[in-house]
Amino acid sequence: MGEEEKFETIIVGAGPAGIACAYTLAKKGKSVLVIERGSNAGSKNVTGGRLYTYALEILEPGIWKEAALERKVTHERTIILQGDNALNIEYYNPSFNRDDRMPVAYTILRGAFDEWFAARAEEMGAIVACGVKVDGLIQKDGKVVGVKCGEDDMLADIVVAADGVNSLIAQEAGIIPDISAHSIGIGVKEVIELPAPVIEERFNLKDGEGTACMLLGCTEGIHGGGFLYTNKESISLGCVFTPEEAAQNKKPIHKIFQNVKMLPAVNELITGGQTVEYSAHLVSERGYRGIPESIFKNGLLLVGDAAGLVVNMGYSIRGMDLAILSGIAAARAILNEDRIELVGPVYYQELEQLIMPTMKALDGYTDLLAIPRIYANYPAFALDLCQQVYHITGEVPRKIKDEARAVLKNNNLSIWNLIKDGLRGYRSI
């Protein structure tokens, strides 16, 4: 392409971050090219998934009403697991389902959502080119001026890297190193088809309502947990855990996940369903501490997972809402600053308003989730204590405190562990 044919912005990756950026820029009349390696937007993207709707509302008021979303999240459930035993804790708020307010969150399927989102960006004037692989950057005098796609050179004033947690674009630019095993988790997920009436009966849902469920104690003592989301006519089931620990314990990833599916409390929710999708995805585990020292270079901006803008809170992983906000922030910086060399600093200022306060506020969860006893000892303690409380045999019972002490000892815990971990957890959050 000749200099006169270049785009104002090229975005690598058609996930929520890239498309939010493209949508915002194209709506203002900028020439935007989105390059997606997958055969269509969403074909290579994976999430649990839950989308917090406020992010779409910031992008454009009311746009969430037409988005390809699944069910309003009205039920929040935690299932603590230990072998065949399970403890269910559920929070239900009817106001989450009111028609006169924007729902807090929806479950989504990325294939449908991303394709809808990309189509909306195209309606604004962006070009979304799918099935195209970016092979590298074009740099001139220390500035990024485009990307290489096979034998083609695609030129732009600004390149936006929205190519995920293991961003090859950012690595080539020298902004981030290759990812390390201890800083990431791996998410494994299946989409299991079930009729809507079956889902609503099993989860005690009304039409349009949905459940978001966290599974704790299901990763065989490895740092991690599971998730389950109800879609319109399917269930998204998966788990996220540390691959480094799985390797150290010689536990294959697929076997850990299959064992989760076979747990009675999980299996009864998916029985009779048909798996129609299987996928895996890398997830940043470090939160605010995982954000690179620099998230821009002259002519290049990092957004979404590529910039480390993900927070693992234990009960949920927030990534999509932060990705959308980062795409908006990048677009605002490009729109508000004519000098290319200053777009990066302006982008960071936008992030300081939209995202960084949240990232900093949730930073302590990294320390909380680093407590190893959360993933084996405490779930086992909770289930064993329930066994002692609810299993009545007619024998004279011991006092609850004596039962608790005995159960603590059986699960390699002590009062000191409770105090120490409690203080650590309090300081973390």
pLDDT in tens, 131-169: 999 999 999 998 999 999 988 999 999 999 999 888 899
Domain that holds residue 267: 182-284
pLDDT per residue as tens digits for the range 87-113: 999 999 888 777 778 999 999 999 999
Q: In whole angstroms, how large is the CA radius of gyration of the chain? A: 23
**Residues 149 and 34 both lie in one domain:** yes
Range 368-382 average pLDDT: 87
Query: Do 162 and 197 lie in a common domain?
Result: no
Q: Which residue has the higher pLDDT, 49 or 391?
A: 49
Q: Specify if 90 maps to a domain.
A: no
Residues 201 and 164 in one domain: no
pLDDT, tens digit, 9 for 90 and up, residues 317-364 = 889 999 999 999 999 999 999 899 999 999 999 999 999 999 998 888
pLDDT at 71: 96
Same domain, 251 and 359: no
* Statement: residue 53 has pLDDT above 80: yes
- Read off the pLDDT of residues 307-316 as tens digits, 9 standing for 90 and up: 999 887 766 7
**Between the CA of residue 140 and those of 47, 173, 339, 370, what are the distances in Å?**
36, 12, 16, 43
Same-domain check for residues 355 and 256? no
Predicted confidence (pLDDT) at residue 2 exceeds the cutoff of 70: no
Tell me how far apart the alpha carbons of residues 83 and 383 are, in angstroms, rounded to a whole number: 10
Tell me the mean pLDDT in the region 4-10. 83
Structure tokens that stand for 47 in this block? 């999430």
* pLDDT tier, 44 (very low <50, low <70, confident <90, very high otherwise): confident
Within 10 angstroms of residue 78's Cβ, the number of other Cβ atoms is 17
Is residue 96 one of the residues assigned to a domain?
no
- Residue 315: predicted pLDDT: 66
Structural domain ending residue among the three candidates 284, 319, 353: 284
Question: Could you tell me the pLDDT band of residue 289, with boundaries at 50, 70 and 90?
Answer: confident
Greater pLDDT, 30 or 96: 30
Give 173's DSSP letter.
Answer: T
What integer is the mean pLDDT of 373-400? Answer: 83
Percent of the chain scoring above 70 in pLDDT: 98
Domain co-membership, 53 together with 164: yes
According to the model, what pLDDT value does residue 178 have? Answer: 78
Is 86 within the bounds of a domain? Answer: no
Contact between residue 128 and residue 42 where contact means Cβ atoms under 8 Å apart: no
pLDDT band for position 49 (cuts 50, 70, 90):
confident
d(CA 231, CA 229): 6
Label residue 300 by pLDDT band (50, 70, 90).
very high
Helices (H), 109-195: 110-124, 168-172
Q: Is residue 97 part of a domain?
A: no
d(CA 426, CA 405): 23
Indicate if 261 and 241 belong to the same structural domain: yes
Quick one: 248 and 310 in the same domain? no
Domain count, the chain: 3
Domain end marker among 260, 284, 308: 284
pLDDT band at 1 (very low <50, low <70, confident <90, very high): very low
- The pLDDT > 90 percentage for the chain reads 58
Helix (H, G, I), strand (E, B) or coil at 6: coil
128 occurs within a structural domain: yes
Is residue 179 over pLDDT 60? yes
Same domain, 279 and 302: no
The closest of 218, 213, 226 to 185, measured between CA atoms, is 226
Domain membership of residue 346 (yes or no) is yes
Average pLDDT, the chain: 90
- What are residue 11's DSSP bridge partners? 34, 160
pLDDT of residue 5: 65
Q: Residue 243 sits in a domain of what CATH number?
A: 3.30.9.90
271 and 202 within one domain: yes
Structure confidence at residue 394 as a pLDDT band (50, 70, 90): confident
How many of the other CB atoms lie within 10 Å of CB of 302?
A: 30
Quick check: 3 pLDDT over 70?
no
Statement to judge: residues 34 and 159 lie in one domain: yes
Do residue 45 and residue 152 come from a single domain? yes
User: Residue 270 falls within a domain, yes or no?
Assistant: yes
Q: Give CA–CA dist 179/308, Å, rounded.
A: 11
The answer to whether the predicted template modeling score (pTM) of the entire model surpasses 0.75 is: yes
Domain of residue 25, CATH code: 3.50.50.60
Domain boundary among 261, 284, 307: 284
89 in any annotated domain: no
